[in-house]
Structures are given as C-alpha cells and as structure tokens.
Structure 1
Amino acid sequence: MPKVSVILPIYNKEKYLDRCINSILHQTLEDIEVILVNDGSSDNSLDICKKYEKLDDRVKVIDQENRGVSAARNSGLTIAKGQFITFVDPDDWIERNMYLRMYNHCINTQADICLCNYYKDNGKKVIPITINCAQYILTRNEIIHEIMLNMIAPKDIDSKKNSLMGSVWRLMIKKELITKNDINFPLNIPLMEDLIFCLKVFSKATKVCIDSNHHYHYCIQEGSASTVYRSNKFELQLKIMEIVKAILKKEGLYDLSKERLNNRYINLGINSIVNEVHKTNPNKLRYKISNIKRICSLAEIQKALTFIDYKNYTLRKKFVLNAMRRKNAILLY
C-alpha cells in the first residue's frame, strides 16, 4: 500500500501538465502513486500522461469520456490504494516537501486530515494565503468552528481574515475516512464541487492538523471558470446552497450555521451581480438589469440583508448592500 495516492483530473491542460506532474514525481516522499485521469481531452494531454506512465511505474492512467472534474476525481478514488488521498489540479504545481511534511503531520498527530497553506498566482503576483487559526491541531468542536463555518462564509462578510476557501488540493485525507463514509464528488455541478466534498469530509473528521507551510501553488489562468461570464451562475449557486444546507442539517449543524449561511447568501448575490456586469457577458443591458433585480429579489438574500450591521462596513460596501436591499439594479450596474 503506498503512503499517498495523488489524483490528477485532466482536461486539455497540455501547456501546464509537465510542470505539474514533475512537481509530484519529484516529491521527497517517494512512496506515492500518481493517478492521472484524462477526462476526454482533445489536445495532447493523454499522450503526455502515457509518457509518464512508461517512465515511472508509480503512475497510473485512466482515460475516460469527458464527464467533468468531479467524475474524473471519483474515477481516481475508485482505484486509489494509498493510506492517504490528495488531489492536484493540472495547471497548478506543488513544493517538493509537501507530501512528506503533511504525511508526517498526519502520522504524528493521528489526524484524519492535514490542511496546508498555499500561494495564489495570477500570473502577475504570487500571494501567500495563510489560514487564520489559533492552533495547529483541531478536535471536533474546533473543526466545526475554525474550518467548516469559515468555509461556508466568514463571520464578517467584508473580511478575508477568517475566510477559508473550500479546496481539496490543499488537503491530505485519510482514505478510510472517505471510503467508510461513502464520500465522493457531486456530479452535474460544475461549480464549487470542492466545497461540497470538503464539508462532507470535515463533518466526519475527529482530528485535523494544520501544516503552516505554503506548499501548493494555485495558478489562476485566463479563461478559467472564475474569470469568465457564466450564464447560469446564479442558479448553480442556489443549487449548491441547497446541497450545503442539506449536509448541515444531516450533521445537526444547520442552526449553528445560520449566520454564516446568511453571509453566504449575500456573497452569492454580490458574485452573481459581478457575473452579470462582467465584460464577457454578451446580453443586452435591459436583460442584465432584469437579472440583477431578480438576484436582489431572492427571499434569502433580502432576509440576510436585514441582519447586517451596516456600521461595520466601508462606504462602498454600504452603498452596494443598501442598493441590494432596495433592489436598485440600475445603481448596482
């Protein structure tokens, strides 16, 4: 049994694939298996994967029809044999000691999950992103308050201090935790699938350790999902909110999470409005205005806005929140 299984979902990433795979194969922790899942790429990605499969017997290649990142990761999970599971996105790369240090943290603390810090690279700046946590070994109550609630939304919607992006690539997860609880990635949801998976695994973890090192390089590419207009983004986010609420209810955490859910609804509204005014949105102005009004009119957003203490926010944010509360789409545009 390898110590770590690394699952890499791949779709048309030939430009970045060598850098990514080499950063994995040159880890100081050598007892790993690398599962490359080609998700119906139309470029040279599959040939690159097969090249590494021939060069290194730790590499396994799955070739499947295009079904999305969640299906690709699930395919990797079905054959993974490692004691721990990790994920990497193909346009990113990792520091050489990432898996050795995280694995040792898991073993030494008997943790179910290890979480590390990362670098955010937009091609112009490399910004270290550090989790704001008072301690480095978290038990059940601390996992809920320090991790899960902050993944839903920060306590203060204007603060990035306690915000915690729900991303699987910064985690090392005990495989037994995943298999015993039958956890996998949600299909047919092309947005925030990581958040749903993260909430599920953290809801079952009894101990989590944090590695303070910045091991992962999260590279934001032009044309990625976060940088282009998406016509159904608002509806997708509402669907995700229903899944998130269902998870919280199942785990008995819904009442505890209500304040954070309110904040997430407000952020959902802001993100959806930003999506509507995005320069790549091809729709006519009247259609954009109509959509912004529809977003602001959502009952959950209007309800969440009534709980806001406006004195805590900048003039700019107060202006946006008040315009949302009044459903003033023209001002928001």
Structure 2
Amino acid sequence: MKLSVIIPVYNTSKYLQKCFDSLIPLMTKLAGEVIFINDGSTDESLQILKQFQSQHSYVQIINQENLGLSGARNTGIHFAKGDYLIFLDSDDWIEATEIEKIYSIALINNADLVGFRLQFVDEAFKVGALSLKHPIKYEKSIFGAQALIEGYQPSSACVFMYRTTFLKENNLTFFQGIMQEDVEFTIRILIPAQNVYFTNIVAYNYYRRSDSMTTTLLKERKERYLSDSITVAEQIKMNILHLKSGSEALKIALEKNYNTVIWNLLWRFFTNPTEVSFEFKKKCITDLKTKSLYPLKGSLKSNFQRSTSLLFNAESFFMFILKFRS
C-alpha cells in the first residue's frame, strides 16, 4: 500500500464532506487508505464516516474514547499500512495532485520525511497567506538535524509526508495531553531523520474557522494552552540529553527552540497584560523555575529576543510590571 491518510475526527460533521472529497482523486490514482479516527464524537460525524465507508473500500473507521488530537494521530500511526503517511485535520483539505507529486518526491529520494507548504483559507474560502518559508535548503535532501541547525521553525505536523517505518522504528508518536503538540513533535522527528526533502509545493489548505479550538479559547482552555508551552519547552530540552558527543551545533539549535517557546510565553504575558490573571502568570513562572527553564539561559533566535530577555530575567522587576499591568 502506497499512502495512508490519517484524519482525527471530533465533532466536525459539517466539514467532513469537503475534507473527504479532496482525497477521492488521490485515492483513485494511488493505492492507499483513508483512516478516520473517530475520537469520541457526539455529533453526526460517525454517521457521515459510515456513509463514506459504504461507498469507498479504502475508508477505515476506528472508534475510540476521546484522547485528543495527539491520541487520535497516534492511533492512526499504529494502524497505518501505507509506505508513507500524512496527517489531515478534519476541517482542512488537501490538493490531491500536489500530494501525488510529493509522494513521487518521497520515492525518488528515498526520503524519511518530505516537508511541503500550506496555504491559509478563511471562512469565505478566500486563500490568504502561505505558511512560513524556512531558512533552509529546498529541493534537495538534507539531514533533519541540519534543518534544525539552519533555522527550521517548528510548524504543523500536517506539512510533512512521513515514511511509516521511520516513525514506527524510532517510536515517534505525539506527546499526549497538550495543546501545542505539533511544535514539540516536528522538532523531535527531525533529530533522527537521515534524509529530509523540503519542497515549495503548496499541498495543504488550512481552514481558519472562527469556532476552531485555536481561534476561540475559553478562559480555562486559554490557560491550558499557555501553560502547555512549559511542557513543550521541557520536552524539547530533554532531547539534548540523548545527543551524541560532537553535536554542539544541534544542541544550540534545540536550545534556541525551547528558549523561544518560553520567550513567546513571557512576551505574551508582557504584551497582553489582561489576557490571564497575575496569579496564573506567577504560577507559570514558578513552574518554569522548578523545571530550570527560567531565567532564560543560553541561545535565542534574534537580537530582539536577546535584548528583551534582559527584562524578563530581572525577575522581581518583571513580576512587578506584570502585577501592575494586570
């Protein structure tokens, strides 16, 4: 089997048809499978998935209790039988012709990973900006570690095509229970990757809907989203413990990434003074100190980060400012 498409589904019934329709041309050309992970949906999603399955033999449905996006993706990895796999969120859609090109690139280059680009689409289906173009070598094979060293910015897990055996043999699964899983995962997969090919092909449509989890956050979810930054930074930092000697450049790259995650959190506290309470900010900074992530130490990605970190690291003064402005 050539390609597995893994689609977690949780209460997205009104978006499933467009998502699935984008896959039909791909499946008619490639021998593949579409794996829907019904992650405890309570709307009409399961009924719609069953309709797809009744009409198309390549559709597989796996029902499970709600484990979140990471848990659903991990289930998909476990069941995937394709030589390669991609992740597709159930409110997004792909460009079938472009995914087919990316599959060919993966085969020709014997790639562990092929990175591609996405475009953002608003609720009027107007195409907006493209995803970030990384400061790395495109249209050629490189080591994953080299991409991190050159400045790869962690991004969506949906903009890679993965060799299935690469994920399984390296036990690469998503960290469950957090809301920023893609940042941690996309860094971790690059470390052991021996053959990564980045292309400028735009193959994924990211639908920006107003009621999505990332655009509409209630207070408790917003606090969880922010506090998850600490877990993400901690997990990125832990990768350093497993590096071989002589990997100083990669160590610095990982240091830049976990420090940037923390810097972004502190910057958000500073620039959005009323978004969350001072008590919550204080709790986060205490947690950062406990995990040896604060004060910020080591490399950062920009001069602006380095200069503003002087303020952030002056703990008593910084806390005074946060309290005064909250």
- In structure 1, the residue matched to 2:130 is 128
Over aligned residue pairs, what C-alpha RMSD do you find?
A: 3.1
Paired position in structure 2 for 1:168: 157
User: Counterpart of 1:303 in 2: which secondary structure?
Assistant: coil
What is the distance in 2 between the residues matched to 1:294 and 1:182?
33
**What TM-score does the superposition give when structure 1 sets the normalisation length?**
0.80
Note if contact 1:82-1:175 (Cα within 8 Å) is conserved in structure 2: yes
Match of 1:208 in 2: 196
**CA 1:323/1:269 → structure 2, altered by over 3 Å: closer, same or farther?**
closer
Change (3 A) 1:198 1:258: closer
Residue 217 of structure 1 aligns to a residue whose secondary structure is strand
Q: What residue number does 2:81 align with?
A: 81
Q: CA deviation at 1:14?
A: 0.6
Amino acid at match of 1:238: I
Greater displacement, 113-122 / 240-249: 240-249
Pairing 1:13-162 to 2, within 5 Å after superposition: 13-27=12-26, 29-123=29-123, 126-132=128-134, 133-140=136-143, 143-147=144-148, 150=151
Partners of 2:301 and 2:155 in 1: CA distance: 26
CA distance in 2, matches of 1:268, 1:149: 24
- CA gap of 1:138–1:199, structure 2 versus 1, over 3 A, is same
Partner of residue 295, structure 2: 303
TM-fit CA distance, 1:112:
1.0
Give the deviation of 1:53 after TM superposition: 0.5
2:84–2:161 CA contact under 8 A, matched in 1: yes
Does the CA contact (< 8 Å) of 1:177 and 1:201 recur in 2? no
* 2:204 match: secondary structure: strand
Q: Summarize the Cα distance change of 1:166–1:308 in structure 2 as closer, same or farther, 3 Å threshold.
A: closer
Could you say what secondary structure the match of 2:191 adopts? helix
Match of residue 265 from structure 1: 262
Within the candidate set 208, 217, 220, 1:220 is matched to 208
Partner of 1:154: none
Deviates more, 1:323-332 or 1:61-70: 323-332
Q: Distance in 1 between matches of 2:147 and 2:325?
A: 33
Contact between 2:19 and 2:91, CA under 8 Å: does it hold in 1?
yes
* Contact 1:324 1:332 (8 Å CA) reproduced: no
Q: 1:212 to 1:308 in 2, by over 3 A?
A: closer
* Alignment partner, residue 247 of structure 2: none
**Distance apart, 1:332 and its partner CA:** 5.1
Q: Deviation digits for residues 132-154 of structure 1, max 9, x if unmatched?
A: 333322322xx324347745xxx
Q: Is the alpha carbon distance of 1:305 and 1:266 closer, same or farther for their aligned partners in structure 2, counting shifts above 3 Å?
A: farther
Deviations 1:182-215 (A, max 9, x none): 222222x231222333233222211111221111
Following the alignment from structure 2 to structure 1, what is the Cα–Cα distance between the partners of residues 149 and 53?
37
| Distance change >3 Å, CA 74–CA 170, structure 1 → 2 | same
Q: What is the CA deviation profile of residues 277-302 of structure 1, one whole-angstrom value per residue up to 9, with x for unaligned ones?
A: 33xx6xxxxxx133335556754675
Secondary structure of 1:97's match? helix
Equivalent AA in structure 2 for residue 114 of structure 1? V
Partner of 1:158: none
Deviation of 1:130 (Å): 4.2
* TM-score, normalization by structure 2: 0.82
Provide the rounded CA distance (Å) in 1 between the counterparts of 2:208 and 2:226.
22
Q: Does 1:248 align with 2:240?
A: yes
1:270/1:32 CA distance change after superposition, 3 Å: same
Alpha-carbon spacing, 1:301–1:266, altered in 2? closer, same or farther (3 Å)? farther
Q: In structure 2, how many angstroms separate the alpha carbons of the residues matched to 1:266 and 1:7?
A: 33
Is contact 1:23–1:93 with CA below 8 Å preserved after alignment? yes
Partner of 1:291: 280
Does the 8 A contact of 1:10 with 1:45 survive in 2?
yes
1:181 to 170, 174, 190: 170
Distance 2:226 2:73 in 1: 25
C-alpha displacement at 1:271, in angstroms?
A: 3.8
Structure 2 counterpart of 1:203, one-letter code: I
When residues 148 and 10 of structure 1 are mapped into structure 2, their CA distance, relative to the original with a 3 A threshold, is farther
Q: Distance in 2 between matches of 1:266 and 1:94?
A: 33
Instruction: For 1:211 and 1:72, locate their aligned partners in 2 and report how far apart those are by CA, in whole Å.
Output: 27
The question of 1:329 aligning with 2:326 is answered: no
Q: Find the aligned partners of 2:271 and 2:42 in 1 and give their Cα distance.
A: 31
Residues matched between the structures, number: 306
Measured in 1, the distance between the counterparts of 2:301 and 2:83 equals: 47
- Report deviation, 1:37: 0.8
Deviation for aligned residue 1:77:
1.7
The 2-side partners of 1:305 and 1:147 are apart by 19
CA distance in 2, matches of 1:306, 1:199: 18
Match of residue 235 from structure 1: 227
